[in-house]
């Protein structure tokens, strides 16, 4: 079994790159199919560990863990590990920025 992964940061860099990427995916699919393999195109949202979320948002890992446990951050358990979706990281980041702005009282709006 072979696989090819395209990450969000790889898309939209420039149109020539996107075109090359699309051609590479098509060539990959044609080759795999010619070898008798079924080719599936599946998308999934990127997920992050609590430590990754903490680094991205600028809070401690312990804070992220507490927010997962109290339901403020929606997360799913994969085996023994918590995973947070990209959209949830962005939502929580906006919440933290909004709360920080309220504490500062400088009229910031996120």
Please, what is the Cα angle at 84 between 66 and 109, to 5 degrees? Answer: 80
Where does the pLDDT of residue 22 fall: very low under 50, low under 70, confident under 90, or very high at 90 and above?
confident
pLDDT at 60: 96
DSSP β-bridge partners for residue 78: 81
CB 57 within 8 A of CB 92: yes
Domains of the chain: 1-43 (no CATH), 47-104 (1.10.1660.10)
Could you tell me which residue, 57 or 8, shows the higher pLDDT?
57
Total-model pTM: 0.63
Q: What is the mean pLDDT of the chain?
A: 87
User: pLDDT tens across 27-58, in order?
Assistant: 989 999 999 999 887 777 889 999 999 999 99
Report pLDDT digits (tens) over 74-99: 999 999 999 999 999 999 999 999 98
Q: Is pLDDT larger for residue 102 or for residue 15? A: 102
CA distance 37 to 60: 45
Q: Determine the 3-state secondary structure of 47 from DSSP.
A: strand
């Amino acid at each position: 079994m072979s696989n090819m992964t395209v990450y969000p940061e790889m898309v939209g860099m420039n149109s020539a790159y996107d075109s090359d990427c699309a051609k590479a995916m098509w060539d990959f699919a044609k080759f795999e199919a010619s070898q008798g393999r079924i080719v599936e195109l599946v998308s999934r949202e990127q997920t992050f560990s609590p430590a990754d979320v903490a680094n991205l948002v600028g809070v401690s890992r312990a804070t992220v863990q507490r927010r997962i446990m109290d339901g403020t951050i929606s997360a799913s358990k994969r085996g023994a590990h918590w995973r947070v979706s990209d959209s949830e990281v962005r939502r929580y980041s906006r919440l933290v920025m909004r709360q920080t702005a309220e504490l500062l009282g400088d009229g910031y709006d996120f």
